[in-house]
Chains A and B, each alone.
Chain A
């Protein structure tokens, strides 16, 4: 049993089920990120935790108490909204203390708590202003202050950074992470930005179409995506998905594909697992992250299964820290991420180094990972 338990939570609007049997246990102090494309049900799930939406079936428990039907204000949660939802007619100070006032905290205690939070978030000089007189970043801080001051069991964030410009978003991201490390509070955070999800979370729930596709640490999600959706949603540029044919030989199993310039290519899987062997002769989808395809010198030295792949370079895109190199594999475009100073040129036939330890096979019909 976790600190925040979501057990088989389902949500329907009329006859339409928009969340299906969601099951997540969040430990105390965890930073859980719900990530997924627009309309997948992230906000709905968050609002169900907050008590702003009913739970159609299933249970949500906070600290062991089932909160189905409990009023939002009695759940000891705090929420930061995408629009910040600061009360426009109140000053920053009043905004921050409104919740305490409604909970009957005496004025003196409210002010002490407010000062503390204002200091933590460095908004002391803004306390007497109205929200309309603040910049986006300042509003964001005030919204967080309003949540922090309540000292809740669980913090809920619904895309809190999506209204900020790119630079501020990165700054605030770091700040939220620092705050979490400092205060150790339990956070559920909604975003559709997979980089935010990777950087902030201790665990990620990738959602699509009302289903949790995969729940795991950022590393698990990134290295071992459970299905094609997770594989292509997480990571930028996204994972290369190459159609290959499985060929089992005496002592190894190969992924066989073709290149336009150099014909058939055989890449050996690190381990000849029985699951893979069952696909002998069939076509599967092989997922390879761009950084697992490099120039031979840049290949991961710890990996024991670096295969060589000879193909023609089509385009090179230097991006400062890396150079992205495009080639064709099995009829699909494939992106490799190389060191900035890798010696490649368009048109050249090049020996790509593929780290097969990082390659993930998928069944193209079920779209699930083959173990």
Chain B
């Protein structure tokens, strides 16, 4: 009797599992399709694309579109390719992510372990930053950047993204540190550690998962941002996203779809890399605090 039920249990298990895998596979294929189209077409000469057959594998494999997108395509005045703009983005994203994460961590630390009067109100105000649509701040922000002399520069963009990002990073770190035992901070105080020593030696070493969340979140948002980039840093200081747009939108000559595909993949690579390297910590970090581990 027990044997029989076990048997059926296993059998139904197998059937459902196969079904589940099948559905998952379909979904995966569906989501992979655009990537497939991009990769395949970026490796073809242009006449193979214009001749139809977008889904076909290249008859003649070539890296020429990639080379062209990276270093030759006409984007600004000079035919520089995406290369300089890629570095613009890196120069913008690294300090902006690093600073917003560190400041978010500091804010979280102060808001949970050095409570002061009206700190929750302050935190609430900071959270506002997460809900303000980008478009609303464009004009005031342009004015501020102008006054600061940062208009049109990479540092101007760093500042904008830093200010916008702090709301999110503070939220992450505050929630993470809220469940961090206050007794540890007290023990460190008695041991003679100061404000920054406690932060540096006690809290930060335990903040790995949430730091990963903050970095991934900030990196994807800042790297993929188009609106601020287009508004505040046109021309030579433009980030990758704006350059990619210029590449695709350029009205002169034939549309080189293979180059566009290569450029688009180039623009997406860094965020993909960040997810692949740090992704497994992402979910863990998001869950931390909600589940006691």
Contacts and interface: CB of A to CB of B under 8 A. Distances in A.
* Dominant SS among interface residues on chain B: helix
B205 A78 contact: no
Contacts of A350: none
Interface in B163-200: 181, 183-184, 186-193, 197
Contact of A102 (B186, B192, B206): B192
Nearest to B182: A85
Contacts of B193: 73, 98, 102
Given A79-B187, A81-B186, A85-B186, A99 B192 contact: yes
A89 B206 contact: yes
B253 to A, nearest CB: 58
A89 B202 contact: yes
Contacts of B205: 89
Nearest to A150: B191
A70 to B, nearest CB: 12
A85 B192 contact: no
A60 to B, nearest CB: 15
Contacts of A85: 181, 183-184, 186-187
B177 to A, nearest CB: 14
B191 A73 contact: yes
Contact of B191 (A47, A82, A89, A98): A98
A83 interface: yes
Nearest to B181: A83
Nearest to A98: B191
B191 A77 contact: no
Given A87-B202, A89-B202, A89-B205, A102 B183 contact: no
A99 B202 contact: no
Interface residues of B, number: 16
A207 interface: no
Contacts of B184: 85, 87-88
B189 A98 contact: no
Contacts of A73: 189-193
A72 B190 CA distance: 5
Contacts of A98: 188, 191, 193, 201
Given A83-B181, A87-B184, A77 B190 contact: yes
Interface in A33-80: 47, 50-52, 71-73, 77-79
Contacts of A119: none
Given A81-B183, A102-B197, A87 B192 contact: no
A103 interface: yes
A103 B192 contact: yes
Interface centre among B183, B190, B197, B205 (most CB of A within 10 A): B190
A99 B190 contact: yes
Nearest to A158: B183
A50 B190 contact: yes
A77 B201 CA distance: 21
Interface in A76-117: 77-79, 81-83, 85, 87-89, 98-99, 102-103
Q: Lowest 9 CB-CB distances: which A-B pairs, in order?
A: A73-B192, A99-B191, A102-B192, A89-B205, A85-B183, A85-B187, A72-B190, A81-B183, A85-B184
18 contacts: A52-B186, A52-B189, A77-B190, A79-B186, A79-B187, A82-B183, A83-B181, A85-B181, A85-B187, A87-B187, A87-B188, A88-B184, A88-B206, A89-B202, A98-B188, A98-B191, A99-B191, A99-B192
Given A87-B187, A99-B192, 10 more contacts: A51-B190, A73-B189, A73-B190, A79-B186, A85-B187, A87-B201, A87-B202, A88-B206, A99-B191, A102-B192
